[in-house]
Structures are given as C-alpha cells and as structure tokens.
C-alpha cells in the first residue's frame, strides 16, 4: 500500500454565475488527500491517514475519497469542523485563504500502533498540516514509526499566509526534508524556502543530507530532478489549455510515486539504484498527469483509463 497523511479540506474554487459575476464552487481538496486520490485513481492501493469531520463537508470528503478507491480505515472521524480554503487565481497562480481553527485536520492526533507499516511501501506527508505545532509533532511521530520499513515522501507545499514565524517554519521544513527519501517542491515553494539559491546547489545539499531524489516542478517550464546515481534529469511540460492549476502539483506527486511503484523503484534501497531512463519515464508520466489535471477546474487528477502508463 501507498499512504498519505495530512490535510483534507474543501476548496471553494472560482467560477462565474449565470450573470457572469464571480462565484465559488465547493470541491474536495487538501494537498495530501489529493495525492491519495491521484494514486488510487491510477490504480495503486492507497490509504489516507488524517482528520476528517463528520459534518456536511466531511461527508463530502469521505464520499469523494471512497469513490476514488482511497481507503479511509485509518483516518480519524470527529465532530470538529472541516477546514475551508477559498481560492483565487492571480497571474496563473492559486492563492488561498484558509479557515482552519480547531478543525478535524488541525486536531488530528496520530494513534501509535494502529498502522501496519510493514505493508506500507511509501508514506507521503506535507502541506498545511505541518504549519502548526501539533500537526508537525504528530506527523513527526508518524514518520519515526514508518521510516524503518517505508519510503518517506515530502512536499512542503508552502502556504505563506498561514506562517506566523518564518524562521521557525524554515527550520521545521528543513527537519522534515532531512527525514525524507523523496523531496518534491514547486519553484514557488523553492523561492519561499531558499530565495535565489541555485536549484542544483540546494538539491546537492539535500542529497547529501540523505534524500535519494529531489524534484522541482516549474509550471510551463517542466520539471527538474537530481539523483545521486541517475544525475540531473529534466522533462518538459505538456502543452494544454489550462482551466486552472489547482491540484496540479499534487497530481504530479501522485503520478511520480505511482510510476516509481510501477517500476519497482519505490522502496528506499531500490530508489537509490534507479536508472536515468527509469527516472525520466517517471517524471514524464508525472508531468503529463499534472497537465491533464490543469485542463479541468479544481483538484481532479486523472484516472488510469484517461492516461496510459506506457506514455
């Protein structure tokens, strides 16, 4: 099984009403849940760990996950409210306003001993859950238990408007990166975390700290990856008609993990030995899945029948 842990929420995505005025439409989201949805739709056995409300929006989340074949047996249902995120597109980038006080995701706690990690090939973490102290602490405990047998995947998926203490946040993201085998971030996240530092320089440092693979996505400019054995790999983004970019990075992450799993390269030791052609194929598949996601509104990653692994 492949597993994700983190945020599950409702995005209110921009649209237009019949009169042409701005409006919003609710859509299930949350970076880590989106990754789980993407993995399951591509055909991987996938589970989600995190807090999901029993309120109206929580039921939407649970129904959406179940319809995409995500297992929720290890998720925690509670009567805390669902996190809400309002999205606005500015210059092609998605900007978010979060309502996240005392929500099911925010109040989630890791129940030690409840997850059979021997059957979990990879655990993916990241995003808004790691901004607050409790979410970061619970996720850290989860990683400590998982790391003995599971590959750790990390995407900071930064949300600057939630960060109150940037130096502390930067230190926290560095700590999570040091625990990860696979690190993926967007160019926007990279700029927030590392400023004008050259990609290659930071990637080399992260590999030196223990990561096996570092990937940076760059929107229309494609993606770049660094691996100690396979070297530097760059792939192009597909040319598509963009509806919005919501969930594109999560779709890329899910497809990358799926591709590594499909090639038998998801386990820590096998990931270290991936060949350049295998990595290029995985990255190209991920880029094309992200491109397809951009052609429709909201976080709506592709199903296996919509995109061929043979791509």
* 192 three-class SS: helix
State the pLDDT at residue 125: 98
Contacts of residue 200, defined as CB under 8 A and 6 or more positions apart, other chains included, come to 226, 232
Segment 199-208 mean pLDDT: 98
Q: Distance between CA atoms of 197 and 189, rounded to whole angstroms?
A: 12
Stated as kind and residue range, the H or E segment containing 83 is strand 83-90
Structure tokens at 238: 């597909």
**By C-alpha distance, which of 124, 70, 44, 42 is closest to 310?**
42
Read off the pLDDT of residues 153-189 as tens digits, 9 standing for 90 and up: 999 999 898 899 999 999 999 999 999 999 999 999 9
Which is more confident, 284 or 14? Answer: 284
Q: Distance between CA atoms of 150 and 16, rounded to whole angstroms?
A: 44
Which is more confident, 40 or 242? Answer: 40
Q: Distance between CA atoms of 265 and 180, rounded to whole angstroms?
A: 15
Structure tokens at 171: 């230190």
Contacts of residue 264, defined as CB under 8 A and 6 or more positions apart, other chains included, come to 270
Contacts of residue 301, defined as CB under 8 A and 6 or more positions apart, other chains included, come to 34, 37, 38, 41, 42, 247, 250, 251, 254, 255, 289, 292, 293
Burial (CB count <10 Å: 0-12, 13-18, 19+), residue 167: exposed
Read off the pLDDT of residues 107-131 as tens digits, 9 standing for 90 and up: 999 999 999 999 999 999 999 999 9
pLDDT at residue 309 above 90?
no
State the pLDDT at residue 22: 80
What are phi and psi for residue 64, nearest 5 degrees?
A: -65, -45
State the pLDDT at residue 2: 98
Read off the pLDDT of residues 129-156 as tens digits, 9 standing for 90 and up: 999 999 999 999 999 999 999 999 999 9
Give residue for tokens 């992450």. 253
Highest mean pLDDT among 31-45, 85-99, 100-114, 286-300: 31-45
Burial (CB count <10 Å: 0-12, 13-18, 19+), residue 113: exposed
pLDDT at residue 23 above 90?
no
Output the average pLDDT for the chain: 94
State the pLDDT at residue 310: 67
Segment 207-215 mean pLDDT: 97
Read off the pLDDT of residues 248-283 as tens digits, 9 standing for 90 and up: 999 999 999 999 999 999 999 999 999 999 999 999
How far is the CA of 3 from the CAs of 6, 34, 69, in angstroms?
A: 10, 12, 13
CB neighbourhood size of 114 (10 A): 11
Contact 254, 42 (CB under 8 A): yes
Rg (CA), the chain: 18
The predicted model scores a pTM of 0.94
pLDDT at residue 236 above 90?
yes
Name the pLDDT band for 292 (thresholds 50, 70, 90): very high
State the pLDDT at residue 18: 79
């Amino acid at each position: 099984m492949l597993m994700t842990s983190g945020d599950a929420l409702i995005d209110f995505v921009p649209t237009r009403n019949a009169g042409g005025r701005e409006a919003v439409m609710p859509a299930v989201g949350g970076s880590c849940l989106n990754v789980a949805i993407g993995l399951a739709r591509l055909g991987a056995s996938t589970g989600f760990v995190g807090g999901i409300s029993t309120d109206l929006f929580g039921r939407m989340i649970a129904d959406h996950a179940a319809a995409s074949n995500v297992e929720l047996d290890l998720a925690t249902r509670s009567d805390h409210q669902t996190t809400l995120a309002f999205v606005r597109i500015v210059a092609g980038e998605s900007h978010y306003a979060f309502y996240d006080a005392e929500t099911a995701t925010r109040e989630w706690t890791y129940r030690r001993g409840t997850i059979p990690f021997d059957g979990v090939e990879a655990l993916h973490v990241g995003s808004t859950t790691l901004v607050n102290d409790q979410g970061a602490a619970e996720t850290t405990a989860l990683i400590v238990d998982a790391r003995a047998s599971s590959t750790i995947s990390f995407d900071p998926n930064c949300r600057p408007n939630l960060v109150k203490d940037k130096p502390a946040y930067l230190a926290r993201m560095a700590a999570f990166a040091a625990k990860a085998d696979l690190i993926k971030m967007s160019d926007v996240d990279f700029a927030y975390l590392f400023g004008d530092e050259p990609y290659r320089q930071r990637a080399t440092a992260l590999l030196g700290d223990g990561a096996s693979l570092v990937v940076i996505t760059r929107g229309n400019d494609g993606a770049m990856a660094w691996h100690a054995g396979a070297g530097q790999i760059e792939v192009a983004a597909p040319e598509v008609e963009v509806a919005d970019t919501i969930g594109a990075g999560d779709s890329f992450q899910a497809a990358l993990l799926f591709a590594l799993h499909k090639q038998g390269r998801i386990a820590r030791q096998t990931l270290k030995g991936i060949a350049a052609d295998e990595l290029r194929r995985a990255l190209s598949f991920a880029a094309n899945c992200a491109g397809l996601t951009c052609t429709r509104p909201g976080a709506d990653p592709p199903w296996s029948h919509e995109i061929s692994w043979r791509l």
